[in-house]
Chain A
């Protein structure tokens, strides 16, 4: 019986006009396009300078900023109003104002009469931009002090060392997370849509009057998607290695282990969605709802630790949180399941709840 059902599902999958192409395109897009698109490295910050000093010192400071590669000088003048106007028109992201006595004060070491204004409409760009400027200022001061032989250290030297991703390479950071997103979509939402469309077509009714058990029917439906999930995981790892030279630090087996755990949770969720949706449109809305929450509350794009407490509470219910954390840890740090017991526990708990709810609501629909 299983043989015939599986045969049917695979035939239908490969005959679908979109699905096989999507399964192939997904890993390629994910590895070759998305890592660049979701990069948080900020470049080309438009900088306006209001230079009221026009001295050698002030131009050295400005040169320090522009030579960093992060900034693009859009205006260099005397008028603070003009600079503000540029910011209002969104042509400048940051303004450095240099006071008239800048050269004298800095040389004497009394102070640092300069101001920084940052446009924070785009918060990320703004906060990173101000940090870059501060860094440039520090570098400027450091060089100056060395040159003039002034011993007084005006700032605490902070040395940072980045572990596990020394180049702070955003792509490396995002690749495991993108795999997580793809696998979640494919193993939860596509089977849900598939089941709902059989409901809509009425074909499920014909199966229900046969001795096929509901479990067999559902499992056979999900198996092709599981196969695709593992195909995508493997393809992504191969592409990441072949194109970027990234290799998984940990045992690849653990990536597969966590994927299996995630698939169980997602199978439950997919079935749950299909139980409560009568047609594909309803299902799409529910899927969209979950997809957005899963992604934004997962720590994939923004760190969970910087969320307010109540938001952090929500992330505990998000399977993607545990799966993404585990995949990143295995890929970047080489963690083992023993280190990641917390993620295993989270996924196992959510899996038990989801599958339990799905089965009980499925039985009720009789």
Chain B
């Protein structure tokens, strides 16, 4: 296992019939890095991310996530990553505490550990009083913070965030990114997809997917320099504008 990289992907291809969703991508993500995974809708981001999370098998190519093979060691990958989907996917008819308990238990935490973790987590999220509320009743911003914390309940080495801040106000987004920075500061690798280009600026490195390929990959500053753009927004429009594939 290479100690420097959290994710190493080589020539990854995923085909659905005749359609090539992911077309030969290769990239590395360093440990503790915040890696932005950008691309227009339909560019193949979600498909690629599902392979990295062990939800789907690649057609060809190889790679490791948290040191485990993406084709053969999917169960080990799952134990070492956290995942927050773009759709709220905690159980709406369980309370905040019960959701934490369920996912803690699933990842093999002991009852006592779960209790401690729950209190710490609710403290940090300033949701002490909301512990007994059903997840369905929470405001969207809280739901997202809770999903994020639950994805971290087992202290994974890598966390995958799929458009974590969709639909919330700028202030909540800013605070969410503070959480992301704290997490990366603790040595967790953050792999994040987003549609907000201001968020792309916060990443250490960014890749832009176009029609299943990675057409650009560098730090935000590096990309802006290379495309002579003032913002990531401009970079994205230049790179993603070349897409032929329809959504």
Which residues of chain B come closer than 8 Å to A202, judged between CB atoms?
85, 87-89
Check A155 for interface membership: any CB of B closer than 8 A: no
Interfacial residues of chain B within 52-92, with CB under 8 A of chain A in the complex: 53-57, 75, 78-79, 81, 83, 85, 87-92
Instruction: Tell me whether B98 is interfacial, beta carbon within 8 Å.
Output: yes
Q: By the criterion of a CB under 8 Å from any partner CB, how many residues of chain B are at the interface? A: 29
Chain B hits for A211, CB < 8 A: 75, 78-79, 106-108
Further contacts, 19 of them, CB under 8 A, given A1-B108, A15-B93, A209-B81: A4-B104, A4-B105, A7-B102, A8-B91, A8-B102, A12-B94, A202-B87, A203-B89, A205-B55, A206-B83, A206-B90, A207-B106, A208-B55, A209-B53, A209-B54, A209-B83, A210-B103, A212-B106, A366-B55
Q: Assess the B98–A205 pair: CB atoms within 8 A.
A: no
- The answer to whether A12 and B93 have CB atoms under 8 Å apart is yes
Q: Are A210 and B93 in contact (CB under 8 A)?
A: no
Query: What residue of chain B has the Cβ atom nearest to residue A216's Cβ?
Result: B106
21 contacts between A and B (CB under 8 A): A1-B105, A4-B101, A4-B106, A7-B105, A8-B91, A8-B98, A12-B91, A12-B94, A15-B93, A201-B92, A203-B89, A205-B85, A206-B85, A206-B103, A207-B106, A209-B160, A210-B78, A210-B103, A213-B75, A366-B56, A366-B57
Top 5 closest A-B pairs, CB basis? Answer: A4-B105, A209-B83, A206-B89, A202-B87, A202-B89
1/0 contact string of A150-177 vs chain B (CB within 8 Å): 0000000000000000000000000000
Q: Interface of chain B, helix or strand or loop or mixed?
A: loop
Residues of A with C-beta under 8 A to B56: 366
CA distance A144 to B106 in the complex (A): 83
Docked Cα-Cα span, A20 to B163, in Å, equals 37
Interface residues in A4-18 by Cβ distance below 8 A to B read 4-5, 7-8, 11-12, 15-16
Query: A residues within 8 A CB of B90?
Result: 203, 206
In the complex, what residue of chain A is closest to B101 when comparing beta carbons? A4
Closest to A212 in B: B106
Q: Within the assembled complex, what's the spacing in Å between the Cα atoms of A1 and B111?
A: 11
Q: Are A8 and B94 in contact (CB under 8 A)?
A: yes
Q: Do residues B85 and A11 form an inter-chain contact, with CB atoms below 8 A?
A: no
Q: Within the complex, what minimum Cβ distance (angstroms) separates B183 from chain A?
A: 17
In the bound complex, CA of A212 to CA of B78 (Å): 9
CB nearest to B95 among chain A residues: A11
Q: Is A3 an interface residue (CB 8 A)?
A: yes
B residues neighboring A (CB under 8 Å): 53-57, 75, 78-79, 81, 83, 85, 87-94, 98, 101-108, 160
How far is B54's CA from A213's CA once the two chains are assembled, in angstroms?
12
Chain A 1-44, CB within 8 Å of chain B: the 1/0 string?
A: 10111011001100110000000000000000000000000000
Q: Is the CB of B78 within 8 A of A209?
A: yes
Which residues in A have their C-beta under 8 angstroms from that of B92?
Answer: 201
CB atoms of A1 and B106 under 8 A apart: yes
Contacts of A366 in B (CB 8 A): 55-57
Complex CA distance for A206 and B105, rounded to whole angstroms: 14
Which residues of chain A come closer than 8 Å to B89, judged between CB atoms?
Answer: 201-203, 205-206
User: Which one of A16, A205, A210 contacts B106 once the chains associate, using CB atoms below 8 Å?
Assistant: A210
Which residue of A16, A203, A210 is within 8 Å of B91 (Cβ)? A203
Min CB–CB distance B15 → chain A (angstroms): 15
Min distance, Cβ A117 to any Cβ of chain B, angstroms: 61
1/0 contact string of A77-97 vs chain B (CB within 8 Å)? 000000000000000000000
Q: How far is the CB of B7 from chain A (nearest CB, A)?
A: 15
In the bound complex, CA of A16 to CA of B91 (Å): 13
Complex Cα distance, B75 from A212, in Å, reads: 9
Q: How far is the CB of B184 from chain A (nearest CB, A)?
A: 20
Distance (whole angstroms) from the CB of A198 to the closest CB of chain B: 9
Within 8 A of B (CB), among A62-78: none
List CB contacts (< 8 Å) of A273-319 with chain B. Answer: none
Measured CB to CB, the nearest residue on chain B to A8 is B102
Q: Judging by beta carbons under 8 Å apart, are B87 and A11 in contact?
A: no
A202 to B90, CA, bound (A): 9
CA distance A209 to B81 in the complex (A): 8
Contact residues in A for B55 (Cβ distance below 8 Å):
205, 208-209, 366
Give Cα A213–Cα B57 distance, bound, in whole angstroms.
16
Residues of A with C-beta under 8 A to B94: 8, 11-12
Q: List B contacts of A209 (CB < 8 A).
A: 53-55, 78, 81, 83, 160
* CA–CA, A211 and B75, complex, Å: 6
